[in-house]
Amino acid sequence: MPSGVYKRVKTWKLSEETKRKISEYQRSKKNGAWNKSNNFVKCKTCRKEFHSSPSNHQKYCSKECYVISPRGKGSLSRRWKGGITPKNKQIRASDKYKLWIKSVFTRDNYRCCKCHKRGGNIEAHHIKPFYLYPELRFEVSNGMTLCVKCHNNTKSNLERKPKNGKTNFVQ
């Protein structure tokens, strides 16, 4: 332990009334008391304000509101926007498209067809464009494996990228 001169810290002496107020405050916290101004929340369904304690975190004012609240997937979800997912995004997220990518990779032995680099960040490229030839979208003969660098230098990708750096997808 370092040697030297240490200042003596003054200890505070609390009055009996202050001690009583502190103990009352601590007892009220243990009994579940809360601030009266923060105990109203809005119902998620009808947006009506109702009384809720912070300990039970209620989100609905009644059982009726809970039953009619939108839950689940698809049109039952509260985030449903009427099925506005673009067709392009749906196709590229499908299992059939993922199978096409995998079959192109296995045919080319996971090797870039231009620089012959194996593995790394590789992508499947449509020889005839995806948006112009919908009948060839899932043909393995219409695909080739390219690394990211070579894929960015293809003619179709260079046409899409203007000088300002933003992508301009044509469909």
pTM above 0.75, yes or no: no
pLDDT tens digits along 49-79: 776 766 666 777 776 776 655 566 667 676 7
The more confidently predicted of residues 84 and 116 is 116
Residue 123 phi/psi, 5-degree rounding, is -135, 155
pLDDT tens digits along 91-147: 989 999 999 999 999 999 999 999 999 888 999 999 998 888 889 999 999 999 999
Give, rounded to a whole angstrom, the gap between the first and last alpha carbons of the chain.
Answer: 75
Q: In the prediction, which pLDDT does 38 show?
A: 56
Domain ranges of the chain: 16-76, 87-160
Which residues are within 8 A (CB) of 137 and not within 5 positions of it... i.e. 6 or more apart?
A: 91, 97, 100, 126, 130
50: nearest Cα among 40, 60, 59, 58: 40
In this prediction, residue 81 has a pLDDT band, given cuts at 50, 70 and 90, of confident
